[in-house]
Amino acid sequence: MEFIDFQDFKKVDIRTGKIISAEDFPNAKKPAYKLKIDFGEIGIKKSSAQITKLYRKEDLVGKNIIAVVNFRPKQIADFISEVLVLGVETENGVVLLSPDKEVPIGKNIS
């Protein structure tokens, strides 16, 4: 394990968001969805998420998630992923991180 300073952690902008659409992403090398996520005041951002094992796209719409919003955009096939949706890798697939109570979208994680 590598230790970092708290100042390094503060550079990572982690926020709450709400998935507003989920589509298949057939051009991705690994099975994934194209997500559009509302982050409130910073707007709607796109993400490619490899979460197809545990989530159906219909069930993702309206789901609150947690994501890193200040990484550089990354091109994945023909798609630009703007944010990194956070999850826990398990042997059954990725489990999304989400608040356990209703919270406003776009709020920073502290």
Q: What is the pLDDT of residues 90-101, one digit of tens each?
A: 999 999 999 999
Question: What's the whole-model pTM score?
Answer: 0.94
Among residues of the chain, what percentage have pLDDT more than 90?
99
11-96: CATH topology: OB fold (Dihydrolipoamide Acetyltransferase, E2P) (2.40.50)
Q: What is the pLDDT of residue 110?
A: 82
Q: pLDDT tens digit string along 34-81?
A: 999 999 999 999 999 999 999 999 999 999 999 999 999 999 999 999
Q: Counting Cβ atoms within 10 Å, is residue 39 exposed (0-12), middle (13-18) or buried (19+)?
A: buried
